[in-house]
Chains A and B, each alone.
Chain A
């Protein structure tokens, strides 16, 4: 039941303002999702500068932080998402081999 066809990815990207890192993160994420998860994902961008209370609620200290809300379990990926391979692992998109 790993990459079942019905699985969808609900993603939330936390940033703090329009910094180069946050812009890069969003661009990297979109590109990656389009090529790997086309039609099976949704991205919500949360700017903590606008909604600072969400940092505590969702336990964010690092930005950018990408949170995989679905599929469970919740996972967090931090950084500008420039390392595609690691993002895919974090999103559980590539089938995992057992070497880690």
Chain B
């Protein structure tokens, strides 16, 4: 007989002090447990505050629902504002069936109605009734979690503020003796975290929610203002409420700790692989393909996607300009058939107008889709359309997060960027090139009454690569790269001019440190 071993941790092992780590109750909310290093302080109240409509109630509700479904911790929701019916209805939009949970005694909804005009005050009173009511609810379903939303209503319902204050202080002490993990919500009021200073009573953990409208789209943010005894990121984290509930996007923890891969990944274009020393770029690379309109950015993206699918890898294609069927049709015209891969569910196209969501919401959505489906290759086409919903700095920050996230998972990302025509060929309108490992520039070269496409590699971190400009043609069998023929005077012969000359069999191997001159 061996005793069950619960923890591998032994006292005196390592340099850590012998203090017990803070026990935490996981919320089950994606992202929130990451940024709190495991959840809310177990057995203690947490204050969640924010303005009207910031998502306090839904976050608190999800904490309870996930608590009971995922962690076997039933919960009591005491609502001072919304009726039980309203709560049931609102939770339905997140896919939670509160009626069923209530019927199974996994959840208890209790609506407290406290309206001053229906109440006459005469002499002294206290809130013992609330304690008894909540205590009974906790015992009835053996609750481990409690939400009070929002208890500040007591201040408007009762005239004796001093008494309410004293009773609230008593309530929070009492909650701790009940060993329930609680969320207490409070309404933000101008400079004050909560209208009635609830933060005075909750000293362990304070979370601030915020919703702002920027560039006509709403973005939600969450910040851990305080977490006693626990490391926490003080940064604002974007979060999203959709039909899956709340998701928080951790943005601080990723850093640059990812493992760099040395495995190669074909671009899907033989000639282009050759420019990278025959092998393509590294797996997990972030690749920027920039160029003016019609230079073939999407075609290159489709080649990469098709190559991934051909290897049996999943590719997730975020299309911000075209619908899935439009992309399929256009690519078929140059001989890239994406449809079979979509049918085999190796390719998924997620088409959405950038303006449909705020920037953060896009980011969260992309995160979730990537996290859920786990593709090996991700295409964002074009990333520049994001500017429609954010400022350049924000877009860059968002991209940095997305790239970090993908790198951690060794996902190769291709981002197309639409540059404005004329001049400054190497200027990317986002300034995002610094985030990228590989940067390819597509261009149009006009000469001899023709317009021909060109491609060059501006940078490729950690890889030998060709510095030459190549001609980029779209055939009915996909993208092909052609050598650019050089005339004796050093100028480039391209298109018909090249055809006129004898195509030189030129080694496609990289010739470092020599830049093809485009004139």
Which one, A14, A80, A83, contacts B129 given CB within 8 A?
A: A14
Q: Report Cα–Cα, A25/B125, bound state, in Å.
A: 10
Q: Report Cα–Cα, A14/B126, bound state, in Å.
A: 12
Q: B132 near A86 (CB under 8 angstroms)?
A: no
Chain B 110-135, CB-CB to A under 8 Å as 1, else 0, gives 10111000111111111111101101
Q: A62 near B122 (CB under 8 angstroms)?
A: no
Q: Report Cα–Cα, A78/B135, bound state, in Å.
A: 21
Total A residues in contact with B, Cβ cutoff 8 Å: 35
Q: B120 near A21 (CB under 8 angstroms)?
A: no
Q: B123 near A81 (CB under 8 angstroms)?
A: yes
Q: Report Cα–Cα, A49/B363, bound state, in Å.
A: 52
Q: Report Cα–Cα, A94/B497, bound state, in Å.
A: 107
Q: A78 near B136 (CB under 8 angstroms)?
A: no
Determine if A70 is an interface residue (Cβ-Cβ < 8 Å).
no
Q: Give the one of B119, B128, B137 with max A CB within 10 A.
A: B128
Quick one: given A61-B112, A61-B114, A76-B118, are A83 and B126 in contact (CB under 8 Å)?
A: no
Q: With a CB–CB cut-off of 8 A, which chain A residues contact B129?
A: 14, 16, 48, 55, 60-63, 65
Q: Report Cα–Cα, A62/B126, bound state, in Å.
A: 6
Q: Report Cα–Cα, A10/B123, bound state, in Å.
A: 21
Determine if B474 is an interface residue (Cβ-Cβ < 8 Å).
no
Q: A77 near B124 (CB under 8 angstroms)?
A: no
Q: With a CB–CB cut-off of 8 A, which chain B residues contact A76?
A: 118-120
Quick one: given A24-B123, A80-B123, A81-B123, are A75 and B128 in contact (CB under 8 Å)?
A: no
Q: Report Cα–Cα, A40/B126, bound state, in Å.
A: 29
Which one, A49, A59, A82, contacts B132 given CB within 8 A?
A: A49
Q: How far is the CB of A45 from chain B (nearest CB, A)?
A: 14
Quick one: given A48-B129, A61-B127, are A86 and B112 in contact (CB under 8 Å)?
A: no
Q: With a CB–CB cut-off of 8 A, which chain B residues contact A56?
A: 110, 133, 136-137
Q: Report Cα–Cα, A83/B120, bound state, in Å.
A: 10
Q: Report Cα–Cα, A49/B129, bound state, in Å.
A: 9
* Residue ID in chain A nearest B133 by CB atoms: A55
Q: Report Cα–Cα, A60/B130, bound state, in Å.
A: 7
Q: A21 near B124 (CB under 8 angstroms)?
A: yes
* Residue ID in chain A nearest B135 by CB atoms: A52
Determine if A26 is an interface residue (Cβ-Cβ < 8 Å).
no
Q: How far is the CB of A93 from chain B (nearest CB, A)?
A: 12
* Residue ID in chain B nearest A14 by CB atoms: B129
Q: A55 near B132 (CB under 8 angstroms)?
A: yes
Q: With a CB–CB cut-off of 8 A, which chain B residues contact A55?
A: 129-130, 132-133, 136
Determine if A23 is an interface residue (Cβ-Cβ < 8 Å).
no
Determine if B168 is an interface residue (Cβ-Cβ < 8 Å).
no
Q: What DSSP secondary structure best describes chain B's contact surface?
A: mixed
Q: B132 near A89 (CB under 8 angstroms)?
A: no
* Residue ID in chain A nearest B137 by CB atoms: A56
Determine if B158 is an interface residue (Cβ-Cβ < 8 Å).
yes
Q: B113 near A90 (CB under 8 angstroms)?
A: no
Q: B125 near A90 (CB under 8 angstroms)?
A: no
Q: Report Cα–Cα, A87/B122, bound state, in Å.
A: 6
* Residue ID in chain B nearest A61 by CB atoms: B130
Q: How far is the CB of B112 from chain A (nearest CB, A)?
A: 6
Q: With a CB–CB cut-off of 8 A, which chain A residues contact B119?
A: 76-78
Q: With a CB–CB cut-off of 8 A, which chain B residues contact A53?
A: 136
Q: With a CB–CB cut-off of 8 A, which chain A residues contact B114?
A: 61
Q: With a CB–CB cut-off of 8 A, which chain B residues contact A48?
A: 128-129, 132-133
Which one, A59, A62, A89, contacts B125 given CB within 8 A?
A: A62
Q: With a CB–CB cut-off of 8 A, which chain A residues contact B126?
A: 21, 62-63
Quick one: given A14-B129, A52-B136, are A78 and B120 in contact (CB under 8 Å)?
A: yes
Q: B122 near A61 (CB under 8 angstroms)?
A: no
Q: With a CB–CB cut-off of 8 A, which chain A residues contact B123?
A: 21, 24-25, 28, 79-83
Quick one: given A56-B110, A56-B133, A56-B137, are A63 and B124 in contact (CB under 8 Å)?
A: no
Q: A82 near B120 (CB under 8 angstroms)?
A: no
Q: With a CB–CB cut-off of 8 A, which chain A residues contact B110?
A: 56
Q: With a CB–CB cut-off of 8 A, which chain A residues contact B130?
A: 55, 61-62
Q: How far is the CB of A56 from chain B (nearest CB, A)?
A: 5
Q: A21 near B125 (CB under 8 angstroms)?
A: yes
Chain B 258-298, CB-CB to A under 8 Å as 1, else 0, gives 00000000000000000000000000000000000000000
Q: With a CB–CB cut-off of 8 A, which chain B residues contact A77?
A: 119-122
Q: Give the one of B121, B123, B124, B154 with max A CB within 10 A.
A: B123
Q: How far is the CB of A44 from chain B (nearest CB, A)?
A: 16
Q: Report Cα–Cα, A76/B121, bound state, in Å.
A: 9
Quick one: given A63-B128, A78-B120, A86-B121, are A52 and B158 in contact (CB under 8 Å)?
A: no
Q: How far is the CB of B117 from chain A (nearest CB, A)?
A: 10
Given A21-B124, A79-B124, 17 more contacts at CB 8 Å? Answer: A14-B129, A16-B132, A21-B125, A48-B133, A56-B133, A56-B137, A59-B113, A60-B129, A62-B125, A62-B129, A62-B158, A77-B120, A78-B119, A80-B125, A81-B122, A86-B122, A87-B122
On A, residues with C-beta under 8 Å from B are 14, 16-17, 19, 21, 24-25, 28, 48-49, 52-53, 55-56, 59-65, 75-84, 86-87, 89-90
Can you pick out 20 interface pairs between chain A and chain B where the beta carbons lie within 8 Å of each other? Answer: A21-B125, A28-B123, A48-B128, A48-B129, A48-B132, A49-B132, A55-B132, A55-B133, A56-B110, A59-B112, A61-B154, A62-B125, A62-B129, A77-B121, A78-B158, A82-B122, A83-B121, A84-B122, A86-B121, A90-B122
The 7 closest A-B pairs by CB, nearest first: A90-B120, A82-B123, A79-B123, A55-B133, A52-B136, A80-B123, A61-B130
